[in-house]
Chain A
Amino acid sequence: MIFCEETIPVSTWTEAQAKRGLPFSGQAVRVLGGLALAALIYVGVRNQGHWQLLLVFGLLFGFILQRGRFCFASAFRDLFLLGEARVMKGILAGLAVATVGFTLVMYTFSPTIMAGRYIATANILPLGFHTLLAGVVFAIGMSLAGGCISGNLYRIGEGYVASAVALLGIFIGLLLLGYTWDFWWTASVSYSPKIWFPQSMGYVGSMLLTLLLVGISFIALLWWESRSRRHGIPIREAAAVESPGLGGQVRAMASRVFVDSWPVVTAGVLLGGLNTALFLLHHPWGVTGALYQMADAAATPLGLSPGTLTGLASLGGACNVGSERGEAFGLSHDSMIVGGMVLGSFVAASGAGEFKIRVPRQKRRLLQALIGGILMGYASALALGCTLGAFFSAVPSLALNGWLFAVGLLGGSYVGVKILRRLA
């Protein structure tokens, strides 16, 4: 992978080196503990159809997110903060893979395209003013919280206390949107059209158009990086010095997978592929719906539940709230994905010696995380998905709403960077 045309010498750094030499305290115990807990849940939900499979998907998502440090917040933020697009390129790689995969899945589900008919499980969402606004608000929130919703989920697995606070904020924000849903429903959502490319240009044309847009975005990123003269700098790994015996090779390979962080494009491609497989099984990757159900279930005994949201049942998408209510503790099969993500990240971080309970020393960082979380929760319910459901799974659904949400995310990240600089 070459990020820039000029090669700048990087001195002695290699991550593997940095991590060698010291024992990881409690590492094995935590890895085994995490796997044991996963196994326990796996056995516990054995009577629940494909809950087990969704747990496995969640674990894999969490593992890959942690290993690839696949952070949507930094992908958008670093464009403006550093003029750098390293992580964004990984996201585009994932979008390209999923676009091909989703097209095949949708074609298989519904080879004939009819006017006014959409694939219910695809993330084809109403496209309107609220989509753009939600993108802006979401991105300000993720800048403040230092991670988007999936980012905070995997950070919880790494031991970040501030991320747990952000998740609390997300729950609050989701409920706040629930209380004000009727306003947005009347003001924008109810009359917003769904724009699904296949209805005007068929599957192949839509796939090619989406891939073209991803390609143009990639070129635009290269231009953006050259313009700001701030290139991504390839970190060269020092050549392995161990003897290349079989044992040494296996150890080096294991170290690459479990200890070194992965190239972000590798993570993006894997996540795009996995997202396709999940779509085939269930619906595309998203966490907003499951989190809303949990928030709603927690609020109900307090008499704070927003109740059924007008018109939502007809919308589909990541935020299919309202379906499956009434299951114990608000746990639906989607919560297997959420829980799996936290647990998968915990196992990955423990294995890599990156797990640590971290409490920010400045208490205002906790407030920052809470406010960021509230903004993200509110915006994700408004957009009917977060950076996953309304973007990473929406663009490959060949729908326009994913792109509009991304434009909002760009705008919000620009504002977010300005705010972050003041909070240093």
Chain B
Amino acid sequence: MGETVPVVKLDVRGEICPYPMFKASEAMKKAKGSEVIEVLTDHPPALLTIPHEAVKLGWDVSIQRVASAEWKLTLTKSQVSKEGKT
């Protein structure tokens, strides 16, 4: 992992379905190169919808709880090919 990867921050707190997923999806599609996208959300269903969308687009997801009912999803371009084994 490089140390100078650009980080795109996306704050979708206050938004409800489907917008957190919409906006994360948009950011992933716009991303060029090996950016990291950090999505901040307070909408628990987005912890399911954003990873689904991310995996479809070939991104890895990790989730961190950053406050009571607030989460940070870190999206990184997947190193594993989509056809890879489990």
Contacts and interface: CB of A to CB of B under 8 A. Distances in A.
29 contacts: A7-B86, A9-B78, A10-B61, A11-B60, A11-B61, A12-B60, A13-B51, A18-B63, A20-B65, A21-B65, A22-B68, A25-B68, A69-B45, A69-B48, A74-B45, A77-B18, A146-B18, A147-B16, A233-B56, A235-B51, A353-B69, A355-B69, A356-B68, A358-B42, A358-B43, A361-B13, A361-B14, A362-B15, A365-B15
A9 B86 contact: yes
A360 interface: yes
Contacts of A283: none
B62 interface: yes
A18 B64 contact: yes
Contacts of B64: 18
Given A77-B18, A420-B18, A69 B86 contact: no
B55 interface: yes
Interface of B: 13-19, 22-23, 42-45, 47-48, 51-53, 55-56, 60-71, 78, 80, 82, 84, 86
Nearest to B69: A356
Interface of A: 7-13, 15, 17-22, 24-27, 69, 71, 73-74, 77-78, 81-82, 84, 146-147, 155, 158-160, 162, 230, 232-233, 235, 261, 352-356, 358-362, 365, 420, 424
A277 to B, nearest CB: 28
Given A9-B84, A146-B17, A233-B56, A24 B47 contact: no
Contacts of A355: 68-69
A15 B17 contact: no
A233 B52 contact: yes
A69 B44 contact: yes
Contacts of A365: 14-16
B55 A10 contact: yes
A162 B66 CA distance: 23
B47 A18 contact: yes
A25 B63 CA distance: 19
A15 B47 contact: yes
A17 B74 CA distance: 14
B14 A13 contact: no
A81 to B, nearest CB: 6
B68 A8 contact: no
Contacts of B53: 82
B12 to A, nearest CB: 10
Contacts of B44: 69, 158, 261, 352, 354
B48 to A, nearest CB: 7
Contacts of B17: 71, 73-74, 77, 146
Contacts of A21: 65
Nearest to B43: A358
A360 B14 contact: yes
Contacts of A11: 60-62, 78
Contacts of B71: 18
Contacts of A362: 14-15
B70 A356 contact: yes
A352 B63 CA distance: 16
A69 B16 CA distance: 13
A139 to B, nearest CB: 14
Given A10-B61, A355-B68, 14 more contacts: A9-B86, A17-B63, A69-B48, A74-B17, A77-B18, A81-B18, A158-B44, A232-B52, A233-B55, A353-B65, A356-B69, A358-B42, A358-B43, A360-B14
Nearest to A162: B16
Nearest to A360: B14
A11 B86 CA distance: 10
A22 B63 CA distance: 13
A382 B46 CA distance: 33
A233 B53 CA distance: 9
A180 B69 CA distance: 42
B18 A8 contact: no
Contacts of A10: 51, 55, 61
Nearest to B62: A12
A230 B56 CA distance: 8
Given A235-B51, A361-B14, A354 B69 contact: yes
